[in-house]
């Protein structure tokens, strides 16, 4: 079985297990995807589209199936009439389906896909009118890499694993940090530094999934250390170097953002056996994830303060979190689900 993956995203965590099952996997990195976070990228969109079409046509003929990550990636296999799976990731349907041009194209890509997969359970709400057969497949986590490891030192540290992006509840999380800092002024708070520094308010509103709430220097004035962007192995070490994790939350007044689901960084933190304070909507997951859930800043702070004072509860919640991720998101288990889907699609 030969599979061409368009834009690997977090799906690459399942590659090793799929290859052990005999699946040959190659990756086609879309020029459009690589350019989306560059300045003035839309002006060069026709060039990127042409490069994608030419590049895809050269290599795609020898594959049994195309696994397109990102709902906007369905155009390439559709043009050349290749069977494809369309893997929806988030804003590619939350936001794009409401847009006049890309929205209509996305609907076409969804309709013609052999199978539609969803990386978070909330996405069914967006695609169910088009594909009632869409299937939620959990994001794969490398639970061998992301596992509990001994932490150096006794000083309690807090990690903002999703950072302080506008579209991940950054303002709300910052308010919680202010409350925590008033009671524990010397506590160390670290934040993922991933994100673009906003030049103005408009940019932050238009790109909430990539923009920080403030420039890094302003964030650091609140006693938060902004960490550099690192690779997976270093990130697992950073998570294990902290005691309590605050995950993404519901952004107020912003449409098209994740609302009540677990992101990759929360799942990786749970896999490392860390207690997570975040927000999960009731009923989205068949087995509710063991996190301390709230969408209120004051309650985030109260949960964190309880965990600071109660070492036993930190350990218990972390152990439950690890078990839940291994059960539902282990990359080997997810790879098996994907393999079964490939077999059914290929026939």
Q: In this structure, are 201 and 322 located in the same domain?
A: yes
Q: In this structure, are 163 and 262 located in the same domain?
A: yes
Q: In this structure, are 194 and 57 located in the same domain?
A: no
Q: Is residue 150 part of a domain?
A: no
Sign of CA dihedral 339, 344, 346, 347: positive
Q: In this structure, are 273 and 214 located in the same domain?
A: yes
pTM: 0.93
> What total number of domains does the chain contain?
2
271: CB partners within 8 A, 6+ apart: 141, 143, 146, 147, 321, 322, 325, 326, 329
The whole-number pLDDT of residue 200 equals 74
Position 158 pLDDT exceeds 90 = yes
Q: In this structure, are 173 and 271 located in the same domain?
A: yes
Which 3 state secondary structure label does DSSP give 294? coil
Q: How far apart are CA 181 and CA 218, in angstroms?
A: 16
How confident is the model over 114-135, as a mean pLDDT?
96
Q: In this structure, are 223 and 259 located in the same domain?
A: yes
The whole-number pLDDT of residue 40 equals 61
Q: In this structure, are 163 and 310 located in the same domain?
A: yes
Q: How far apart are CA 297 and CA 177, in angstroms?
A: 8
Q: In this structure, are 335 and 288 located in the same domain?
A: no
Could you list the residue range(s) of the whole structural domain that residue 248 is in?
157-329
How does pLDDT run across 232-262, given as a tens digit for each residue?
999 999 999 999 999 999 988 777 778 899 9
Q: How far apart are CA 252 and CA 196, in angstroms?
A: 20
CA 234 distance to own-chain centroid = 18
> Which neighbouring-strand residues pair with 67?
5, 85
User: Phi and psi of 278, rounded to 5°?
Assistant: -160, -145
Residues in the chain: 347
Q: How far apart are CA 272 and CA 23, in angstroms?
A: 29
CATH code: domain of residue 24? 3.40.50.2000
Q: Is residue 231 part of a domain?
A: yes
124: CB partners within 8 A, 6+ apart: 118, 134, 136
Q: Is residue 33 part of a domain?
A: yes
Position 34 pLDDT exceeds 80 = no
Q: How far apart are the first and last CA of the chain?
A: 11
Of 2-16, 49-63, 93-107, the poorest mean pLDDT is in 49-63
How confident is the model over 147-165, as a mean pLDDT?
94
329: CB partners within 8 A, 6+ apart: 138, 139, 140, 141, 143, 267, 271
Q: In this structure, are 191 and 280 located in the same domain?
A: yes
The whole-number pLDDT of residue 172 equals 96
Over its C-alpha atoms, the chain yields an Rg (Å, rounded) of: 21
The whole-number pLDDT of residue 91 equals 87
Position 38 pLDDT exceeds 80 = no
Q: Is residue 147 part of a domain?
A: no
Do residues 184 and 155 lie in contact, with contact meaning Cβ atoms separated by under 8 Å? no
Position 206 pLDDT exceeds 80 = no
Nearest to 141 by CA among 273, 334, 336: 334
How confident is the model over 301-319, as a mean pLDDT?
98
Q: How many CB atoms lie within 10 A of CB 299?
A: 15
The whole-number pLDDT of residue 123 equals 96
């Amino acid at each position: 079985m030969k599979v061409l993956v368009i834009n690997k995203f977090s799906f690459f965590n399942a590659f090793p297990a799929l290859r052990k099952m005999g699946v040959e996997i190659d990756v086609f990195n879309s020029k459009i995807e690589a350019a989306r976070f560059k300045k003035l990228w839309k002006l060069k969109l026709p060039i990127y589209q042409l490069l994608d079409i030419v590049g895809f046509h050269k290599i795609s003929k020898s594959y049994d199936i195309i696994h397109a990550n990102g709902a906007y990636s369905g155009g390439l296999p559709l043009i050349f009439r290749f069977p494809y799976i369309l893997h929806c990731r988030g804003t590619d349907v939350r936001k794009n389906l409401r847009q006049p041009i890309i929205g209509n194209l996305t609907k076409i890509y969804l309709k013609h896909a052999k199978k539609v997969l969803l990386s978070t359970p909330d996405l069914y709400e967006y695609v169910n009118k088009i594909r009632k057969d869409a299937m939620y497949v959990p994001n794969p986590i490398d639970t061998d890499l992301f596992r509990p490891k001994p932490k150096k030192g006794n000083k309690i540290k807090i990690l903002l694993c999703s950072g302080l992006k506008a579209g991940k509840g950054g303002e709300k999380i910052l308010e919680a940090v202010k409350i925590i800092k008033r009671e524990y002024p010397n506590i160390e708070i670290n934040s993922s530094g991933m994100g673009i520094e906003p030049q103005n308010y408009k940019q932050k509103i238009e790109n909430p999934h990539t923009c920080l709430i403030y420039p890094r220097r302003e964030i650091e004035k609140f006693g938060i250390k902004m960490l550099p962007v690192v690779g997976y192995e270093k990130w697992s070490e950073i998570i294990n170097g902290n005691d309590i994790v605050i995950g993404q939350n519901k952004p107020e007044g912003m449409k098209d953002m994740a609302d009540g689901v677990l992101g990759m960084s929360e799942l990786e933190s749970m896999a490392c056996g860390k207690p997570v304070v975040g927000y999960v909507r009731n009923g989205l997951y068949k087995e509710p994830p063991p996190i301390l859930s709230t969408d209120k800043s004051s309650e985030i702070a109260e949960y964190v303060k309880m965990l600071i004072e109660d070492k036993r509860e930190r350990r218990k919640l972390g152990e439950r979190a690890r078990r839940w991720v291994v059960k539902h998101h282990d990359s080997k288990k997810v790879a098996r689900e994907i393999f079964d889907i490939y077999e059914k699609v290929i026939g």
